[in-house]
Amino acid sequence: MKALVLHGPGEISIDDINIDEQLGDKDVRIEIKTVGICGSDIHYYKHGRIGSFIVEEPMVLGHEASGIVLETGSSVADLKPGDRVCMEPGIPNPVSRATILGMYNLDPEVRFWATPPVHGCLRETVVHPAMFTFRLPDAVGFEEGALIEPLAVGLHAVTKASIKPWDTAVVTGCGTIGLTTALAAMAAGCGQVLITDVIQEKLALARMLGLVPVDVTRQYLAETVLEATGGWGANVIFEASGSRQAIDDIFSALCPGGTVVFIGMPAEPVPVDIVAAQAREARIETVFRYAHQYPRALALVASGKINVKPLVTDRYSFSDSIKAFEYAVEPEPRTVKTIIEF
């Protein structure tokens, strides 16, 4: 089959490859239709590594995907050929302690698409466990199906935050994860969600989505939040940028007893002001991918409670996928999510 293969930093090509994937009893074979380009894909493309995960041999990129079921294993009862689906890209050990405890995203043995040495899904077909393959409701298209993966991150963060009706939330960063987190917070019942960035086009998109944009080049976040909350502060702050500057001052906009959820991953270790957290008795939560969020994400998108369509700003055909990555490295300011269509 043809696939987009990463050979090393800055070296990608569309190759004919042979991946030996046998269809097991509990698996499905899927024709890929849409794949979103994630920040991790870009990082591997630029640097050939993320932390200790190093690309040491050719690897297919991509992990945000939707497609059509071509074939099912003999034990698969809830999916059939022709079903439109999206796929959760992390496959844990089904009998590991983390999986048994319900934290399968933290299983040390998890095999996650496009994380060395595991091939991703930017290829014509994949074989995937039916357990982690989800039928798309009629109202959900392939593009939205591919965005269920980043939406699951936002929903996982919102779940960890334990939001209450009419809370005020703040999200730092108008990237895909920041925006999906903000939309998830609104769907969870927040009365207002403020979101920060420095790029005017992204702040304009946030306003269109019903969020309160905060341009941190012109506004001091803490003052803006205190003004919006009668001097109390935000109930929840989601740090989705990975920016040291955002993390340095993260507690100043938080209300007493509030919660900070760290989602973004800084490129380097950053300090956290523990005393500022203690002075508010802040609760601190962290997020690593997600668990048990795909059904909820699909239901919210299908019902119209969350609209992810405006997040797709750029589209490329698979034959132009090299150009898609070249663009995604240095995108226009308006760009949020770039997708590749087969």
pLDDT tens string 233-263: 999 999 999 999 999 999 999 999 999 999 9
Residue 108 lies inside a defined structural domain of this protein:
yes
Residue 188 lies inside a defined structural domain of this protein:
yes
> What is the CATH number for 208?
3.40.50.720
Residue 29 lies inside a defined structural domain of this protein:
yes
**Same domain, yes or no: 228 and 336:** no
**Same domain, yes or no: 265 and 194:** yes
**Same domain, yes or no: 166 and 231:** yes
**Same domain, yes or no: 30 and 128:** yes
**Same domain, yes or no: 227 and 313:** no
Residue 44 lies inside a defined structural domain of this protein:
yes
Read off the pLDDT of each residue in 203-220 and give the average, rounded to a whole number.
98
Read off the pLDDT of each residue in 197-205 and give the average, rounded to a whole number.
98
Domain that holds residue 67: 2-135+308-341
Read off the pLDDT of each residue in 167-181 and give the average, rounded to a whole number.
98
- For residues 69 and 32, is the Cβ–Cβ distance under 8 A? no
If we measure between CA atoms, which residue out of 20, 65, 63, 19 comes closest to residue 40? Answer: 63
Q: How many domains does the chain have?
A: 2
pLDDT at residue 83, rounded to an integer: 98
Question: What long-range pairs does 225-234 form, CB within 8 A, spacing at least 24?
Answer: 225/168, 225/170, 225/194, 225/253, 226/253, 228/168, 228/192, 228/194, 229/168, 229/255, 233/258, 234/168, 234/169, 234/170, 234/194, 234/258
- For residues 255 and 281, is the Cβ–Cβ distance under 8 A? no
**Same domain, yes or no: 243 and 275:** yes
* Domain edge (last residue) among 256, 286, 316: 286
**Same domain, yes or no: 225 and 130:** no
pLDDT at residue 185, rounded to an integer: 98
pLDDT in tens, 80-130: 999 999 999 999 999 999 999 999 999 999 999 999 999 999 999 999 999
Q: How far is CA 109 from the centre of its chain?
A: 20
If we measure between CA atoms, which residue out of 120, 127, 94, 87 comes closest to residue 109? Answer: 94
Q: How far apart are CA 150 and CA 39, in angstroms?
A: 11
- For residues 243 and 268, is the Cβ–Cβ distance under 8 A? no
- For residues 3 and 17, is the Cβ–Cβ distance under 8 A? yes
Residue 115 lies inside a defined structural domain of this protein:
yes
Residue 51 lies inside a defined structural domain of this protein:
yes
| pLDDT class of 51 with cuts at 50, 70, 90 | confident
| Sign of CA pseudo-dihedral 307, 64, 341, 141 | negative
Residue 85 lies inside a defined structural domain of this protein:
yes
- For residues 65 and 86, is the Cβ–Cβ distance under 8 A? yes
* Chain length of the chain: 342
Facing residues of 215 across strands? 197
**Same domain, yes or no: 322 and 264:** no
pLDDT over 70 for what percent of the chain?
100
Structure tokens at 309: 């369509």
pLDDT in tens, 220-239: 999 999 999 999 999 999 99
Whether residue 11 is predicted with pLDDT greater than 90 in this model: the reply is yes
**Same domain, yes or no: 174 and 202:** yes
Q: How far apart are CA 234 and CA 163, in angstroms?
A: 11
Question: In whole numbers, what is the pLDDT of the chain averaged over residues?
Answer: 97
| pLDDT class of 267 with cuts at 50, 70, 90 | confident
How far apart, in Å, are the Cα atoms of 137 and each of 80, 142, 181, 298, 301? 14, 10, 22, 7, 9
pLDDT in tens, 26-46: 999 999 999 999 999 999 999
> What is the CATH number for 100?
3.90.180.10
pTM of the model: 0.97
Residue 292 lies inside a defined structural domain of this protein:
no
Helix (H), strand (E) at residue 313: strand 312-317
**Same domain, yes or no: 236 and 325:** no
Whether residue 318 is predicted with pLDDT greater than 90 in this model: the reply is yes
Question: Angle 3-94-50 (CA atoms, 0-180°, nearest 5)?
Answer: 45
**Same domain, yes or no: 130 and 238:** no
DSSP 123: B
**Same domain, yes or no: 111 and 196:** no
